[in-house]
């Protein structure tokens, strides 16, 4: 299944040693040689933005018509089975090039960007989107890309438009509101659930989407703390608990876990006037809500934003309950 495609698929990165350098060369190459990507990044210049201030944090709404395919993607099993996988190397457009990222992950330029620099990081093989066996790879990719990027993950049932093909994404840091809001939120809106010399786990509330933050400079510690959270979220389930992850690295890791209860809010399924096409994933959890249709962008209010988050993320009660269970177990 692996590397059955031509060597021409890989961009020449001779002379470059770090992943950010290779990513930069790939990006420059693709916007100069691939019309679709050039158009995608050109269209970012006309994205309209509305800012909503909520005291100690901010949510932005972006009108980004380039995202219509992803936001409205059919991700039921039947639709997925019937379409050619757009992350499999054999199905990629001839103009699309890759660089090796790490292990069996490759870096691709996302031609339908949200970020100024937006990469998709799929595995070479066509394997399902599942985080548990891949968490260490997420952390490693984040450290290799360094402080210039956030690396993120959308669960197969809460934002991934290719739930059948394992992939992460990366975007330039500073773009998502959480990048600048986290410092204040972690001071004023958080509760420490666990802390020792090497790892700290916080529950962050009061910012529309309740989330968990794990900070450590020890990859094994952060991975095992993630597994603990995963297991608590998965107590009764056989499938992966719904979650979006945002990881950053600046000498040490910060992994944000946004537990989810629903993929899309009711507005998504309405017809006519009542319909609002919004399909929240990691970037939305990071504080940048993506609206691909202008008629929806015009309807956004503070109330709508509050309700969208309320519908798709953990309630305060459920989140506090989770925190209590975790604290009890970490003590024991």
Whichever of 120 and 173 has its CB closer to Zn ion, that residue is 120
Edge-to-edge strand list for the sheet holding 118-122: 99-102, 105-109, 118-122, 167-172, 149-154, 243-249, 253-259, 211-216, 199-204, 190-195
Q: Which residues, including other chains, have CB under 8 Å from residue 264's CB and lie 6 or more apart? A: 278, 279, 280, 312
> Minimum Å distance from CB 84 to Zn ion?
8
Retrieve residue 93's tokens. 């457009």
Does residue 167 interact with Zn ion by CB under 5 A?
no
Whichever of 78 and 187 has its CB closer to Zn ion, that residue is 78
Whichever of 88 and 289 has its CB closer to Zn ion, that residue is 88
Task: Give the residue closest to Zn ion by C-beta.
Answer: 85
Whichever of 160 and 170 has its CB closer to Zn ion, that residue is 160
Considering only the stretches 9-17, 164-172, 235-243, 313-321, report the one whose residues sit in contact with Zn ion under the rule CB under 5 A.
Answer: 164-172
Whichever of 80 and 85 has its CB closer to Zn ion, that residue is 85
> Minimum Å distance from CB 240 to Zn ion?
18
Does residue 166 interact with Zn ion by CB under 5 A?
no
Does residue 165 interact with Zn ion by CB under 5 A?
yes
Give the x/- contact pattern for Zn ion in 77-116, rule: CB under 5 A. --------x-xx----------------------------
Q: What is the DSSP string of 180-199?
A: HHHHHHHHHSEEEEEE-SSE
Retrieve residue 200's tokens. 């700290």
> Minimum Å distance from CB 152 to Zn ion?
19
Q: Helices in the chain by DSSP H: which ranges?
A: 19-33, 35-43, 68-71, 77-82, 135-145, 177-188, 219-233, 266-269, 282-285, 294-297, 302-312, 316-331
Give the x/- contact pattern for Zn ion in 118-157, rule: CB under 5 A. --------x-------------------------------
Specify the pairing of strand 243-249 against strand 253-259.
antiparallel
Whichever of 165 and 209 has its CB closer to Zn ion, that residue is 165
> Minimum Å distance from CB 165 to Zn ion?
3
Distance set, CA 328 to CA 22, 86, 186, 232, 324 (Å) = 45, 44, 21, 12, 6
Angle, alpha carbons 175-181-187 (nearest 5°): 155
Residue 192's DSSP bridge partners are: 202
Whichever of 129 and 173 has its CB closer to Zn ion, that residue is 129
Count of residues of this chain found to bind Zn ion when the rule CB under 5 A is applied:
5
Residues that bind Zn ion (CB under 5 A): 85, 87-88, 126, 165
């Amino acid at each position: 299944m692996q590397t059955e495609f031509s060597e021409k698929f890989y961009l020449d990165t001779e002379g470059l040693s770090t992943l950010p350098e290779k990513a930069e060369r790939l990006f420059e190459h693709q916007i100069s040689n691939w019309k679709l990507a050039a158009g995608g990044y050109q269209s970012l210049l006309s994205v309209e933005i509305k800012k909503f201030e909520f005291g100690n944090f901010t949510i932005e709404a972006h009108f980004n018509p380039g995202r219509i395919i992803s936001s409205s993607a059919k991700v039921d099993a039947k639709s997925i089975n019937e379409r050619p996988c757009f992350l499999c190397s054999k199905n990629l457009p001839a103009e699309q090039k890759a660089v090796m990222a790490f292990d069996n992950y490759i870096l691709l330029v996302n031609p339908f960007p949200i970020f100024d620099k937006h990469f998709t990081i799929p595995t070479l093989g066509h394997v399902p989107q599942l985080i548990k066996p891949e968490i260490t790879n997420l952390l490693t990719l984040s450290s290799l890309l360094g402080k210039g990027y956030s690396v993120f993950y959308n669960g197969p049932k809460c934002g991934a438009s290719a739930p059948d093909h394992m992939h992460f994404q990366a975007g330039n840091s500073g773009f998502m509101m959480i990048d600048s809001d986290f410092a204040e939120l972690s001071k004023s809106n958080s509760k420490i659930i666990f802390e020792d010399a090497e790892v700290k786990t916080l529950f962050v509330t009061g910012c529309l989407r309740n989330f968990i933050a794990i900070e450590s400079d020890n990859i094994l510690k952060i991975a095992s703390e993630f597994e603990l959270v995963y297991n608590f979220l998965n107590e009764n389930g056989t499938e992966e608990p719904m979650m979006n992850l945002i990881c950053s690295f600046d000498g040490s890791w910060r992994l944000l876990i946004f537990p989810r209860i629903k993929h899309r809010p009711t507005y998504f399924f309405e017809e006519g006037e009542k319909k609002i096409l919004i399909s929240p994933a990691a970037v939305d959890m990071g504080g940048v809500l993506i609206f691909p249709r202008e008629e929806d962008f015009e309807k956004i209010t503070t109330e709508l934003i509050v309700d969208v988050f309320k519908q798709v993320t953990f309630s305060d009660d459920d989140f506090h309950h989770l925190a209590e269970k975790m604290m009890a177990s970490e003590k024991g």
